[in-house]
A = this chain, B = another copy of it.
Amino acid sequence: MPSPIDFYFDFSSPYGYFASHKIDALGSKHGREVKWRPFLLGVAFKTTGGAPLPSIPMKGPYHLRDMLRTAKYLGVSYRHPSVFPISSVSACRAFYWLDAKDPKRAKELARALYRAYFVDNVDISGADNVVSVGAKFGLNADELRTGISDQATKDRTKTEVDGAIAIGAFGSPYIVIDGEPFWGSDRLDQVEKWLATGGW
Contacts and interface: CB of A to CB of B under 8 A. Distances in A.
Interface of A: 44, 47-51, 56-59, 61-62, 65-66, 69-70, 72-73, 165, 168-171, 181, 183-184, 186-187, 190, 193, 200
A187 B61 CA distance: 17
Q: How many copies does the complex hold?
A: 2
A-B pairs with lowest CB-CB distance, top 8: A58-B170, A186-B186, A59-B170, A47-B57, A72-B200, A48-B58, A58-B168, A48-B59
A49 B56 contact: yes
Contacts of A73: 190, 193, 200
Contacts of A49: 51, 56-57
17 contacts: A48-B56, A48-B57, A48-B59, A49-B51, A49-B56, A50-B59, A57-B170, A58-B168, A58-B170, A62-B170, A62-B183, A65-B181, A66-B187, A69-B190, A72-B200, A73-B193, A184-B186
Nearest to A190: B73
Contacts of A187: 66, 186
A1 B39 CA distance: 49
Contact of A168 (B48, B61, B169, B170): B61
B59 A181 contact: no
B193 A62 contact: no
A10 to B, nearest CB: 15
Nearest to A65: B181
A66 B200 CA distance: 12
A181 B65 CA distance: 9
